[in-house]
């Protein structure tokens, strides 16, 4: 049996909450530490379940890793192992980001196909195509991505879609390749910029971070560094949307408002008052939110990771909302759980149509992924009675101190063990 949450509805969230480092950044930065022999230190790391899981992956590749609160210290060996086996990577998708660093350091990699959230297919075709453009041979064999090259040589790479994972793996392989690599249609997410900043501190030569074209000039070697992980914009926005849903007043610290401009604008459209701060933002809502339409897109668009929270907001908004999912096709399975709570919602292909009601009704629900889990808890906050949220180990993978922060804001939540 797994832990579950008991969420009591009716509370108005109020107060201040601090956001730690970004889950979608720290795991890639940990992998990037493999690119340089010696000790790299990451600060502001989130205290989430995926960080020790990633540490186990790196240990399996020969690194020494220690975690102390929000500090992760990684000592990368002179000759990393190149085989990340299934037992190490099966629990989370981000483990595939060791592929690029291993190709850069070892010129070969065997990485078991990873597991992770049930949000749809995320094939590795673009990862492999990018490595092939740099001179590698790559294929799927016996459940693993197998890649090898006599040498990596810079080349133009054009991505079919601005995939975050493919951009990261190709970027990390290219920093130690011979010559210049251009990545067109590269992902522009703040987490990509964070990776570029750290790699540049390590001695990499990268131009165009934050744009759709990255230019990488390979260098002979990199050196270890110390780097502070950027704040988690997805966690920060979750609390902001929770404030709007509960007609609350929440100040979020530790995240750059520029990373959430579109999301904050959407909250304003619902009738919320939003103030940006040097290190965060404040969301206040005194009445029932107004319905808004949302389409998920790569950055700077509305993040797919916030789609469940957008649907949660739509379920209690005044009017009809259309939520369009353009990134992960299976993410709408979360809607089935919202219907258990009385939501007036239906899905059709890439679209969900939601007619808001005054209040949801409590029921047992099950998490299918990290963000769906957070979205279900937020829905429980605006339901009558007590909502049981099961399989909450997903939430632990992305939200540090989740119930403590929610309790501090006045939310009714209790973790039941086993």
pLDDT in tens, 254-310: 999 999 999 999 999 999 999 999 999 999 999 999 999 999 999 999 999 999 999
Q: Please, which residues have CB within 8 angstroms of residue 348's CB and are 6 or more apart in sequence? A: none
Burial class of residue 357 (count of CB atoms within 10 Å of its CB; 0-12, 13-18, 19+) = middle
Confidence grade of residue 94 (pLDDT, cut at 50, 70, 90):
confident
Is the pLDDT assigned to residue 332 strictly greater than 90?
A: no
Q: What is the pLDDT of residue 387?
A: 98
Q: Cα–Cα distances in Å, from 377 out to 2, 58, 82, 232?
A: 16, 33, 40, 19
106 closest CA partner among 67, 149, 69, 71: 149
pTM of the model: 0.94
Mean of pLDDT over the chain: 94
Q: What is the pLDDT of residue 120?
A: 42
Q: What is the pLDDT of residue 361?
A: 97
Q: What is the pLDDT of residue 143?
A: 81
In the numeric block, which tokens belong to residue 66?
Answer: 């220690």
Q: What is the pLDDT of residue 95?
A: 80
76-90, 112-126, 286-300, 327-341: which is most confident:
286-300
Question: What is the number of H-type helices and E-type strands within the chain?
Answer: 14, 26
Q: What is the pLDDT of residue 210?
A: 96
Q: Cα–Cα distances in Å, from 178 out to 54, 82, 151, 207, 283?
A: 29, 20, 8, 16, 49
Confidence grade of residue 315 (pLDDT, cut at 50, 70, 90):
very high
Q: What is the pLDDT of residue 123?
A: 67
Q: Is 23 annotated as a binding residue?
A: yes
Q: What is the pLDDT of residue 247?
A: 98
Q: Please, which residues have CB within 8 angstroms of residue 148's CB and are 6 or more apart in sequence? A: 107, 108, 109, 136, 137
Average pLDDT over residues 115-136: 75
Is the pLDDT assigned to residue 121 strictly greater than 50?
A: no
What percentage of the chain carries pLDDT values higher than 70? 96
The DSSP-derived string for 324-360 is E--S-TTTTHHHHHHHHTT-EEEEETTEEEEE--S-E
270 closest CA partner among 315, 232, 207, 317: 317
Q: What is the pLDDT of residue 262?
A: 97
Cβ proximity of 4 and 390 under 8 Å: yes
Confidence grade of residue 25 (pLDDT, cut at 50, 70, 90):
very high
Q: Please, which residues have CB within 8 angstroms of residue 141's CB and are 6 or more apart in sequence? A: none
pLDDT digits (tens, 9 = 90+) for 100-120: 999 999 999 998 887 544 434
Q: Is 408 annotated as a binding residue?
A: no
Assign 261 to helix, strand or coil.
helix
Read off the DSSP letter of residue 257. Answer: G
Q: Is 333 annotated as a binding residue?
A: no
Q: Please tell us whether the domain made up of 23-228 is placed in CATH 3.40.30.10.
A: no
Query: CA 95 to CA 308: how far, in whole Å?
Result: 24
Q: Please tell us whether the domain made up of 4-19+231-416 is placed in CATH 3.65.10.10.
A: yes
**Which of the residue ranges 57-66, 139-148, 199-208, 376-385 would you say has the lowest mean pLDDT?**
139-148
Q: Is 365 annotated as a binding residue?
A: no
Average pLDDT over residues 194-214: 98
**Which of the residue ranges 138-147, 221-230, 377-386 would you say has the lowest mean pLDDT?**
138-147
Domain locations in the chain as residue ranges: 4-19+231-416, 23-228
Helices 233-245 & 370-381 angle (0-180, nearest 10) = 20
371 closest CA partner among 404, 331, 329: 331
Average pLDDT over residues 173-191: 98
Q: Cα–Cα distances in Å, from 323 out to 13, 291, 357?
A: 25, 11, 16
Q: What is the pLDDT of residue 1?
A: 65
Q: How many CA within 13 A on the CB side of residue 306?
A: 29
Q: At 27, phi and psi to the nearest 5?
A: -65, -35
Buried b (16+ CB within 10 A) or exposed e, 154-187: bbebebeebbbbbbbbbbbbbbbbeebbbbebbb
Q: Is 232 annotated as a binding residue?
A: no
Query: CA 141 to CA 112: how far, in whole Å?
Result: 9
| Catalytically active residues, by annotation | 117
Answer whether 4-19+231-416 and 23-228 agree in fold: yes
Assign 302 to helix, strand or coil.
strand
């Amino acid at each position: 049996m797994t832990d579950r949450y008991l969420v009591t509805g009716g509370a108005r969230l109020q107060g201040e909450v601090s956001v730690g480092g970004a889950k979608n950044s720290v795991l890639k930065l940990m992998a990037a530490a493999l690119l340089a022999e010696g000790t790299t230190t990451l600060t502001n790391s989130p205290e989430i379940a995926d960080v020790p899981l990633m540490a186990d992956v790196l240990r399996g590749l020969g690194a020494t890793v220690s975690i102390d609160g929000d500090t992760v210290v990684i000592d990368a060996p002179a000759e990393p192992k190149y085989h990340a086996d299934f037992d190490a990577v099966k629990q989370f998708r981000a483990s595939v980001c060791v592929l690029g660093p291993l190709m850069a350091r070892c010129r070969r990699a065997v990485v078991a196909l990873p597991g992770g959230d049930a949000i749809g297919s995320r094939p590795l075709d673009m990862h492999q195509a990018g490595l092939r453009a740099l001179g590698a041979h790559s294929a799927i064999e016996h459940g693993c991505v197998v890649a090898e090259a006599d040498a990596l040589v810079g080349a133009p790479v054009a991505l079919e879609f601005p995939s975050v994972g493919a951009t990261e793996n190709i970027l990390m392989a290219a920093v130690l390749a011979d010559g210049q690599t251009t990545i067109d249609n590269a992902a522009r997410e703040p987490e990509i910029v964070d990776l570029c900043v750290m790699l540049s501190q390590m001695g990499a030569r990268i131009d165009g971070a934050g744009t759709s074209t990255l230019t990488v000039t390979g260098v002979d070697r990199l050196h270890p560094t110390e780097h502070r992980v950027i704040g988690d914009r997805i966690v920060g926005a979750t609390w902001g949307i929770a404030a709007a849903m509960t007609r609350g007043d929440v100040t979020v610290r530790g995240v750059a408002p520029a990373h959430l401009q579109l999301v904050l604008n959407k909250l304003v459209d619902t009738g919320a008052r939003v103030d940006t701060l040097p290190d965060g933002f404040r969301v206040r809502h005194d009445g029932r939110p107004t319905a808004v339409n949302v389409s998920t897109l790569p950055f700077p668009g509305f993040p797919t990771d916030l789609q469940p929270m957008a649907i949660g907001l739509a379920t209690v908004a005044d009017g009809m909302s259309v939520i369009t999912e353009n990134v992960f096709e299976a993410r709408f399975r979360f809607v089935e759980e919202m219907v258990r709570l009385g939501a007036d919602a239906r899905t059709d292909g890439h679209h969900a149509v939601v007619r808001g009601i005054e209040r949801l009704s409590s029921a047992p629900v099950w998490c299918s992924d990290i963000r769906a889990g957070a979205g279900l808890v937020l829905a429980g906050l605006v339901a009558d009675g007590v909502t049981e949220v099961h399989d909450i180990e997903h939430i632990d993978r992305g939200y540090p101190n989740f119930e403590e922060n929610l309790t501090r804001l006045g939310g009714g939540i209790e973790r039941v063990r086993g």
